[in-house]
Amino acid sequence: MTLRQLSFFFSLLSLSALLPAQEPAPEAVAAASARASRQDLLKAPVLQQEGQTYRVSDVLARLYPLDPNLEPALTGSLEYLQVYLDSPRFYDQVRWYSNLLLLEAVQVPEVTQEALHAEAVAWAKNRGIDAPANAALAIGGLEILVRAKMIGEQPDVLAAPEVRKHFNRSIPEFFGRVKLSWIRLPLFDDETGRALGETERHARYLILDEAAKEIQTGKITWEEAVEKHSQDRISKRQQGRVGYVTRTDHRFDEEFLRQLFLDLGVTAPPGAVMRGPIMGSRWVYLARMEKITSVGVVEMNRVKDRVERSLRTYMIYQELDRLAAGVSRGIQLPVRTK
């Protein structure tokens, strides 16, 4: 290279150093921002339990094997990820993740795929869903996993006296229907559909708890309480009246029905029975059972499979209550990022 060429070359280097750096393309900036936002969401804490913090990524890691379609959907769209994490469905999954941690703390063993799929089909059937195991797992996720693990710890054959005792604990669950009215408040934002956080949920529970006390002490009538508190537009226009409900009425929240029909006894109690507040999956309820009637011939052998299934569910919740006693835990939703 000649002296003239070297001089020209260094002149170009000096000129390029004075030029501003090239701006990255807008698409690259948006992609980098999306990656950062996604990581922020995945790192966000959603559960505090026994001094440990669990994050969005921890819950999703347990959900993905149960629903193969979930990971591609959440990975492919930041907007969908945000909507999913704000949903009542994800709130419910975090609650069952917390229950799963209770089981792991006492080293309840894993279950076989066969047992998991059997529980998935039974879970769907209880909710009036005609779906194969894989589809049920995509809906029920961690609840089904927890139930399968706990049923695996129960006796293969339930003792006949225990089954009979459970049947007599609440005969209307199997041979009854309830004439029902309710006051209910949503556990989600009515405009956005986002799940409410723990503070707002507790506040709505306390509203109905106070309403129940006022009704029982005669400070307010049921009709006045409905008018004052109900946020269910349809039933509110009918003074809270819902109509007749059975335990297998799949139009309604499964968790609500489970608690509504629990421990109603052998004979119908006289007069109206108020129950609640009951925390469902999407609503908190204050229920009034105005009439409880039997339907058909009351004979346990006719519904033995349902009674045994109900008893197993009863045992699951009894054991979860026992395991949770004294355990510090709190769900930290909706998701908050820095």
CATH number at residue 245: 3.10.50.40
Which one is predicted more confidently, 14 or 157?
157
**pLDDT at residue 15 tops 50:** no
Residue 190 confidence class, pLDDT cut points 50, 70, 90: confident
Q: pTM of the prediction?
A: 0.86
Host H or E run for residue 189: none
Is the peptide bond prior to 277 cis by the omega test (within 30 degrees of 0)? Answer: yes
Read off the pLDDT of residues 73-92 as tens digits, 9 standing for 90 and up. 999 999 999 999 999 999 99
Q: What is the DSSP string of 191-221?
A: TT-PBP-HHHHHHHHHHHHHHHHHHHTTSS-
b/e map 175-185, b = 16+ CB within 10 Å:
bbbbbbbbbbb
Rama region for 326: left / alpha / beta (φ>0; ψ in -120 to 50; rest): left
Residues 92 and 239 in one domain: no
Residues 290 and 302 in one domain: no
Residue 194 confidence class, pLDDT cut points 50, 70, 90: very high
Residues 147 and 55 in one domain: yes
**Among the listed ranges 143-147, 151-155, 249-253, which one has the minimum average pLDDT value?**
249-253
Q: Which pLDDT belongs to residue 271?
A: 77
Which one is predicted more confidently, 12 or 314?
314
Q: What span, in angstroms and rounded, lies between the C-alpha atoms of 309 and 123?
A: 10
DSSP 3-state of 132? coil
Q: Note whether residue 254 is domain-resident.
A: yes
Q: What span, in angstroms and rounded, lies between the C-alpha atoms of 254 and 127?
A: 7
Q: Note whether residue 80 is domain-resident.
A: yes
What's the average model confidence in pLDDT over 200-213? 97
Q: Note whether residue 123 is domain-resident.
A: yes
Residues 161 and 303 in one domain: yes
Q: How many domains does the chain have?
A: 2
Q: Which pLDDT belongs to residue 34?
A: 55
Beta pairing, strands 52-55 & 176-186 = unpaired
**Among the listed ranges 12-21, 40-49, 114-123, which one has the minimum average pLDDT value?**
12-21
Residue 272 confidence class, pLDDT cut points 50, 70, 90: confident
Residues 74 and 91 in one domain: yes
Read off the pLDDT of residues 236-248 as tens digits, 9 standing for 90 and up. 999 999 999 999 9
Domain that holds residue 264: 172-297
Q: Supply the mean pLDDT for the chain.
A: 89
How open is the CA angle 235-334-51, to the nearest 5 degrees? 125
Residues 195 and 224 in one domain: yes
Q: Note whether residue 56 is domain-resident.
A: yes
Q: Which pLDDT belongs to residue 266?
A: 84
Residues 219 and 242 in one domain: yes
Among residues of the chain, what percentage have pLDDT more than 90? 80
Q: Note whether residue 117 is domain-resident.
A: yes
